[in-house]
Structure 1
Amino acid sequence: MSVWDRGGRIVVRLAILYLVCRLATFAFFILAATLAEEGSRFGAAPAVSDMLLGWDAQWYWFLAVHGYPAELPLTDAGQVAENQWAFMPVYAYLAGALAPLFGGSWGAAAVIISLLSGFGATYVLYRILRPRIGPSAAYWGAGFFAAGPLSALFVLGYAEALFLLWLFLALWAVTTRRYVWVYPLVILMGYTRPGVLAFALFLGLFGIWRFFSRRTEPLRTPEIIHIVALGALATVVGFSWQVIAAVVTGDPGAYLATELAWRRNWLINDEGVFVPFDAFVQGAAFWGQTWGWGSVGGVIVLVVVLVGIAAALLWAPQVRALGPEIRLWAVSYLVYLLAVFFPQSSIFRLLVPLSPLWGAFAVPRSLAWRAGVLVVCLAGQWWWIYNMYALGNRFWQIP
């Protein structure tokens, strides 16, 4: 069998699938621009380009142009204001470096990076899933990812698509035991967007699993050294941004204060102190009150949801079919979110690194099931674009 037969055809098939999904995304944005009214975030009938480069994309552009502030900006109340330190440098500066190739347009370069990264992530996800659930299910799983509710990120000036490419490559390298490849990927992940600390936890759990599975797959000294070294590197990279921000600004709490500045948009009386896992409890109480369940009701719902997710990761046969690495990553990333994130409408975007779990939805072989999941994906994509971009005028419509 030729190299083309082994790999080329699936690349073409995935490229066609990805292109069709992106055409659907652009069609959704055109429709959203048509439906946008004067009171929406972007005003009446905005240009699609303005929507693609709105919200956080503006922060990445601002970072590329102005860099990081040496002095933290303050609000009228004397608190640290929202600023560039919340955004990692790789995506913003890479788009800036490539902008001359696109007539000096940072926005065009940023969108192209997202488009290409999204396709790269789709292909790598297929390669991760194929040995576990077979080529057909892996293709469908990659399709669900390419068409998913948050796949609009693949045409936005956001760093998510590039981060997903690094992440999927790192997971692929771990599943195939090519640990040397993971070292540069950890660094790229760490300075593209927050989340590398979740990968550090994943490596720790993976190392424990490898120890207990050593009878079925021998655990040799070089592998132990790689796992420990990579876990240490991911941890150092994960905390290094706080150190860099502190050195540049002279404020030891610069990064955390910047991140907490966004939380004040939701909790007016927030004390501005970071305590692991506290934000999710506060968020559950906030949404419980907002939706009429009461604070305690919100926390109870959170616990029920977490128990349900844990049960699915432990016992659902479709999830177990994906292999231990994907399940351990899912656990690690969810624990990371619980520890650091205040749940609000951006939670949908922050759940995208869990995308390898799309493979579980592709395991059932029924064509009707798979087609139904694809329709739900496209419907969810339209719902997200319409609410976050055609409207975007309420507190729960922030991407």
Structure 2
Amino acid sequence: MAKLHVAERASVPQGHGVGTSTPTAVPERAGGAARRVRLPFGRRLLPGAAPALALFLSIRLAGIGAIALANHLDRHALLKGLATSWDSRWYLHIAEHGYGTRVHVLATTGAVQRDWAFFPLYPGLIRAVHTVLPVSWNVVALLVAWSAAVVAAYGIYAIGHDVYGRAVATALVGVWAALPHAVVLDIAYTESLLTALAAWSLYAVMTGRWMWAGVLAALAGLARPTGFAVAAAVAAVAVREIVVRRGRVPPALWIGTAIAPLGWAGFVLWVGHRTGDLLDGYFKVQHAWDSRFDFGAGSVRFLKALLLYGGRVVYPLALVLVVAAVVLFCLLCFDRAPLALIVYAGMLVLITVGGSGPYASKPRFLVPAFPLLFPIALAFARSWRVRPKHVLLIGTVLAVLSLAYGSYLLTASRTPL
């Protein structure tokens, strides 16, 4: 079934779930239908994309303003806070000096934390741009992260527009920009880069562009440890297409699917080679950072400690946000979202819930899981048709709370982001 035109999907149908307004037509042609679909990188943006991107930029620029105000009150430099917070220092060091040049020994456990735990795409881009632009490393790191955030917002809009049309796509971008931990989009972190690559890879899968999907998924695998979720989504849709079409799929599907996991697997094996343990070396490096998949044992311990001893606001809120992510994923599945989005979001939720590490950082890991926001975007878009003033008020309040909490996380919480 051909995809409906934008005019035919301008209003959000009542009583349907994610992906049902287009009778799942988008994923069904992923195996290579006769009609060629181009990625929207041409001279013109997708219809309605400009207002959505303006909304995103206004929220995130306001976020930077809130951080600037908080830093001014604390007499701290804005640029230093944005570019050298927590993990940002490691990325900048790798960009400037390369791998194997920095270690940190934990005084409490004696664990040796190495820079091999950080994936190479972001520091590689910083180094590449720094060779061209005569500006400081800090400025380059922020330029790369901010540019990726804008590309990610457009990719999220493209997916929302393809599945449901302008209204939901705009709401989706706005909700993503106003997440409680969206402050990571303003600083020198990798969430924006992963989201950009994931969004466009998933869009390529949903529109049958398998070579694009594979290359972008491979790059996503070089951006963050959770980047392999993109390759998993590509593989899941490919398997479905192969089964449905009984193996009669274009060669690009096989090639793109084979390319998708190469970035993540290549770096993991490279770290293993450097450590002398090809298959397990990378995971040992991550273990020193208390980062491993323990099937939720760490989450259970955290919950027990939180109930017994309490904690600062970041900890109970982190728990609420993780639980909300699980609920939103269930809604995404019930609403029959495209398979690529379900697999990608599901992998990120599984890693977040089942992984160890600082619990306060878990909501940050979910920032790239934008498909989880579809149910919220649908609610906003439907309400806008009836009570636009109410929606505007609620959205403004949520954005203000997000900016306030984000500036608190970055300047006052003293909790690893």
Q: 1:68 to 1:170 in 2, by over 3 A?
A: same
Matching residue of 1:200: 231
| Sequence identity percentage | 24
Quick one: which of 44, 47, 50 aligns to 2:80?
50
User: How far off is 1:153 after superposition?
Assistant: 2.3
Structure 2 counterpart of 1:352, one-letter code:
V
Q: Does 1:93 align with 2:112?
A: no
Contact 1:147 1:374 in 2 (8 A): no
Matching residue of 1:246: 272
Quick one: which of 356, 363, 368 aligns to 1:353?
368
In 2, the alpha carbon distance for the partners of 1:328 and 1:166 equals: 16
TM-score (ref. length: structure 2)? 0.75
The DSSP-based 3-state class of the residue aligned with 1:156 is coil
In 2, the alpha carbon distance for the partners of 1:339 and 1:167 equals: 21
Quick one: which of 79, 87, 92 aligns to 1:61?
92
Q: 1:303 to 1:381 in 2, by over 3 A?
A: closer
Q: 1:64 to 1:10 in 2, by over 3 A?
A: same
User: How far off is 1:81 after superposition?
Assistant: 1.5
In 2, the alpha carbon distance for the partners of 1:310 and 1:163 equals: 19
Q: Does 1:277 align with 2:294?
A: yes
Quick one: which of 313, 329, 342 aligns to 2:357?
342
In 2, the alpha carbon distance for the partners of 1:197 and 1:353 equals: 13
User: How far off is 1:157 after superposition?
Assistant: 1.0
In 2, the alpha carbon distance for the partners of 1:285 and 1:136 equals: 42
Contact 2:220 2:263 in 1 (8 A): no
Residues 140-151 of structure 1: matches in 2 within 5 Å? 140-151=171-182
User: How far off is 1:375 after superposition?
Assistant: 2.7
Contact 2:146 2:185 in 1 (8 A): yes
Once the two structures are overlaid, the 10-residue window that deviates more, 233-242 or 354-363, is 233-242
Residues 207-226 of structure 1: matches in 2 within 5 Å? 207-210=238-241, 214=244, 221-223=248-250
User: How far off is 1:105 after superposition?
Assistant: 0.8
Structure 2 counterpart of 1:379, one-letter code:
L
Residues 1-399 of structure 1: matches in 2 within 5 Å? 7=45, 10-36=48-74, 45-53=75-83, 54-69=85-100, 79-210=110-241, 214=244, 221-223=248-250, 229-252=255-278, 253-263=280-290, 276-278=293-295, 280-292=296-308, 308=327, 311-315=330-334, 317=335, 320=336, 322-342=337-357, 344-364=359-379, 365-366=382-383, 367=388, 368-369=390-391, 371-386=393-408, 388-393=409-414, 397-399=415-417
The DSSP-based 3-state class of the residue aligned with 1:184 is helix
Q: 1:134 to 1:75 in 2, by over 3 A?
A: closer
- CA root-mean-square deviation: 3.4
Contact 2:302 2:359 in 1 (8 A): no
Contact 1:141 1:358 in 2 (8 A): yes
User: How far off is 1:173 after superposition?
Assistant: 0.2
Matching residue of 1:267: none
User: How far off is 1:338 after superposition?
Assistant: 4.1
Cα deviation code 1:115-174 (max 9, x no counterpart): 111111111111111132221121121122233323322321112211111111100001
Once the two structures are overlaid, the 10-residue window that deviates more, 358-367 or 47-56, is 358-367
| Structure with the bigger percentage of helix | 1
Q: 1:254 to 1:381 in 2, by over 3 A?
A: farther
In 2, the alpha carbon distance for the partners of 1:262 and 1:200 equals: 24
User: How far off is 1:202 after superposition?
Assistant: 2.3
List alignment gaps of at least 5 residues for structure 1.
37-44, 265-273
The DSSP-based 3-state class of the residue aligned with 2:360 is coil
Cα deviation code 1:217-273 (max 9, x no counterpart): x566225x6555545444444333232112223345442232222229xxxxxxxxx
User: How far off is 1:205 after superposition?
Assistant: 3.3
The DSSP-based 3-state class of the residue aligned with 2:65 is helix
In 2, the alpha carbon distance for the partners of 1:24 and 1:219 equals: 51
Contact 2:332 2:374 in 1 (8 A): no
The DSSP-based 3-state class of the residue aligned with 2:368 is helix
In 1, the alpha carbon distance for the partners of 2:325 and 2:413 equals: 28
In 2, the alpha carbon distance for the partners of 1:14 and 1:206 equals: 28
Contact 2:116 2:282 in 1 (8 A): yes
Structure 2 counterpart of 1:116, one-letter code:
S
In 2, the alpha carbon distance for the partners of 1:362 and 1:303 equals: 18
In 1, the alpha carbon distance for the partners of 2:108 and 2:374 equals: 48
List alignment gaps of at least 5 residues for structure 2.
1-39, 311-315
Aligned residues: 361
Once the two structures are overlaid, the 10-residue window that deviates more, 187-196 or 63-72, is 63-72
Contact 2:59 2:399 in 1 (8 A): no
Structure 2 counterpart of 1:141, one-letter code:
L
Cα deviation code 1:301-327 (max 9, x no counterpart): 999878745542332x4xx4x433322
Structure 2 counterpart of 1:105, one-letter code:
S
Structure 2 counterpart of 1:89, one-letter code:
P
